[in-house]
Amino acid sequence: MAFFLLLNEEIRQRKIQRRRLRDANNPFELPDPEFQHLYRINKDMGLYLIRQLERTLGETAAHGIPVHVQVLSSVMFMAAGSYQRGVGQDHNLCVAQTTMSRHLGRVVDAINRQLKNRWIVFPGTEAGRQNVSSGFREKFGIPDALGAVDCTHVAIFPPPRPHGVQYINRKGIHTLNVQLVSDAECKILHVNAQFPGRVHDAYIFRQSLVRSDSGYPLEPWLMTPVLHAVPHSPQDRFTRWHCQARNVVERTNGYLKGSLRCLGLDRCLHYTPEKSCSLIYACCTVYNIMKHFG
């Protein structure tokens, strides 16, 4: 009994120490370059996220953790691709791993509820379609293009059998197969992260709200390359032109995983497929906001 009392007192003292460190350090007092180096976003974006999410996160504050600590530590986790315990030990944030886990889930849910549909928008109006198509027309000479589509894989911790086998992709890795649609400026217009790694890209597109490359079927609204075209033929010129245009979605995949490294294939999301899906949506939302704030 004495041992447990001593252990509880040590935990209580450690919590007090963490709280004192958090109260004594304000991340926004750091120089701008150091703030951006640590948290991978600039101060303007950090303040924007805090203001947009503070009502929700303030109402569900995790053990009195300030909203700015919840937001910055969650974004830092997404961007650094590190573990929760390592992120929480930053002296400006200073939270335990269990607390970090709780408020990470809250921040992800808040981003998806309040910001996702505002920042990831497939053009549904005539003005929106004209705005997106003008980017492809100016950069690649393509009229009336609404986006480039492709899938990318995000590694996850192996789910339990028997359903876990559905997440093994053709390279033998447990993943989610994530479909992205991007505009000419590499902004994400649509994301679908609900399918396991074993599912083919074309099947995901057929089930998608937006309906396709050689992995997709040619459809009236979809341009695909001509495979095995004769060199220097019109078909070959078309395919090279097509590849230049669709390269924007390949670059979007690279920028997304480079900016939010928890999604990189050299990392692995240690969550259930459902939680991993939510985290991917939140990362895509944060990515578009990052582009907006430069």
CA 86 to chain centre: 20
Q: How many residues does the chain have?
A: 294
Cβ atoms of residues 215 and 202 within 8 Å: yes
Residue with tokens 């969550």: 271
Same domain for 94 and 228, yes or no, is: no
Question: pLDDT, tens digit, for every residue of 57-66?
Answer: 875 555 578 8
Angle at 40 between CA 34 and CA 45, to 5 degrees: 95
Residue 226: pLDDT band (50, 70, 90) is: confident
Distance CA 79, CA 151 (A): 21
Same domain for 165 and 43, yes or no, is: no
For residues 251-255, average pLDDT: 95
Distance CA 57, CA 102 (A): 11
Q: Which residue has the higher pLDDT, 22 or 260?
A: 260
- Indicate if the pLDDT at residue 6 is higher than 50: no
Task: Give the total number of structural domains in the chain.
Answer: 2
Which residues span the domain enclosing 218?
119-293
For residues 139-165, average pLDDT: 87
- Indicate if the pLDDT at residue 229 is higher than 60: yes
Closest CA to 30 of 75, 90, 95: 90
Portion of the chain with pLDDT greater than 70, in percent = 81
Same domain for 141 and 282, yes or no, is: yes
Same domain for 145 and 100, yes or no, is: no
Same domain for 66 and 198, yes or no, is: no
Same domain for 174 and 245, yes or no, is: yes
Highest mean pLDDT among 15-29, 74-88, 172-186 belongs to 172-186
For residues 19-32, average pLDDT: 71
End-to-end Cα separation, the chain, in angstroms: 56
What H or E segment, with its residue span, contains residue 240? helix 234-259
Question: pLDDT, tens digit, for every residue of 188-212?
Answer: 999 999 999 999 988 888 887 776 4
Residue 244: pLDDT band (50, 70, 90) is: confident
Which residue among 51, 79, 114 closes a domain? 114
The two three-digit tokens of residue 14, written as one number: 């450690």
- Indicate if the pLDDT at residue 17 is higher than 80: no
Q: What is the pLDDT at residue 203? A: 87
The one-letter amino acid code at 294 reads G
Same domain for 262 and 155, yes or no, is: yes
Asked whether the bond before 231 is cis by omega within 30 degrees of 0, the reply is no
Q: What is the pLDDT at residue 263? A: 95
Same domain for 226 and 268, yes or no, is: yes
Complete DSSP assignment for 114-150: HTHHHHS----SHHHHHHHHHHHHHHH--TT---EEE
The one-letter amino acid code at 78 reads M
Q: What is the pLDDT at residue 41? A: 94
Distance CA 75, CA 255 (A): 16
Same domain for 182 and 200, yes or no, is: yes
pTM, two decimals, is 0.83
As a whole number, the mean pLDDT across the chain is: 83
Q: What is the pLDDT at residue 135? A: 87
Cβ atoms of residues 240 and 123 within 8 Å: no
Same domain for 163 and 211, yes or no, is: yes
Same domain for 51 and 163, yes or no, is: no
- Indicate if the pLDDT at residue 44 is higher than 70: yes
